[in-house]
């Protein structure tokens, strides 16, 4: 089984998650959609992921899904997203991924996220600081990568 993990993020979390998937799956290849556009016909199984900013899935992930909408319907496919607010993940999925693809997916999971304010600049840093403060005020735990959900998706892919 040849597996493609196609992903796009901005500050490294999505890439980290894609690499964690890849380490656990034999015969898997990661492709950063910021750099390359893979041909899904070369693979039996396709995992597509992206990060969320301002409620929106990374535009390279969105474009890849749009361009491969027909192919993805007939493949074994799974999807993941990285975000700061896991509790909103159901809404983020339904807003950003076509329903028919989610309905046919082997699995789709939210892998959580990270918020490293010191790695950000300008407007991004401002938004991240506001979000971090708002979470702290509500006594919410800071975001982190959800390895349980990564394991869940892997299990579905392997079964």
Ligand X SMILES: Cc1cc2nc3c(=O)[nH]c(=O)nc-3n(C[C@H](O)[C@H](O)[C@H](O)COP(=O)(O)O)c2cc1C
**Binders in 12-41 for ligand X, by CB under 6 A:** 12-14
Q: Pick from 6, 77, 105, 115: which binds ligand X (CB under 6 A)?
A: 115
55 binds ligand X (CB under 6 A): yes
Nearer to ligand X, 134 or 158 (CB): 134
The tally of CA atoms less than 13 A away on the side-chain side of residue 82 is 25
The nearest distance, CB 102 to ligand X, in angstroms, is: 18
Piece of 18-26, 34-42, 76-84, 101-109 that binds ligand X (CB under 6 A): 76-84
What are the helix (H) ranges across the chain? 13-24, 59-67, 69-74, 89-96, 99-104, 122-137, 147-158
For residues 19 and 83, what is the distance between their CA atoms, to the nearest angstrom?
A: 17
146 binds ligand X (CB under 6 A): no
Q: Pick from 114, 132, 135, 151: which binds ligand X (CB under 6 A)?
A: 114
3-state secondary structure of 127: helix
83 binds ligand X (CB under 6 A): yes
Both tokens assigned to 85: 């607010």
113 binds ligand X (CB under 6 A): yes
Q: At a CB cut-off of 8 Å and minimum separation 6, what does 92 contact? A: 52, 55, 57, 81, 83, 110
Contacts to ligand X by CB under 6 A? 9-14, 51-55, 82-85, 88, 113-115, 120, 124, 127-128
């Amino acid at each position: 089984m040849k597996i493609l993990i196609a992903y796009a993020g901005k500050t490294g979390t999505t890439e980290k998650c894609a690499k964690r998937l890849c380490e656990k799956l034999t015969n898997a290849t990661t492709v950063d959609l910021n750099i390359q556009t893979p041909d899904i016909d070369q693979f039996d199984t396709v995992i597509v992921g992206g990060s969320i900013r301002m409620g929106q899935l990374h535009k390279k992930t969105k474009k890849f899904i749009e361009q491969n909408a027909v192919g993805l319907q007939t493949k074994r496919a799974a999807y993941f997203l990285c975000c700061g607010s896991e509790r909103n993940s159901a809404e983020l999925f339904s807003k950003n991924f076509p329903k028919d693809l989610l309905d046919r997916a082997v699995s789709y999971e939210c892998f959580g996220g990270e918020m490293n304010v010191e790695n950000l600049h300008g407007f991004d840093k401002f938004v991240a600081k506001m979000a971090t403060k708002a979470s702290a005020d509500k006594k919410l735990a800071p975001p982190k990568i959800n390895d349980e959900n990564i394991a869940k998706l892997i299990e579905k892919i392997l079964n």
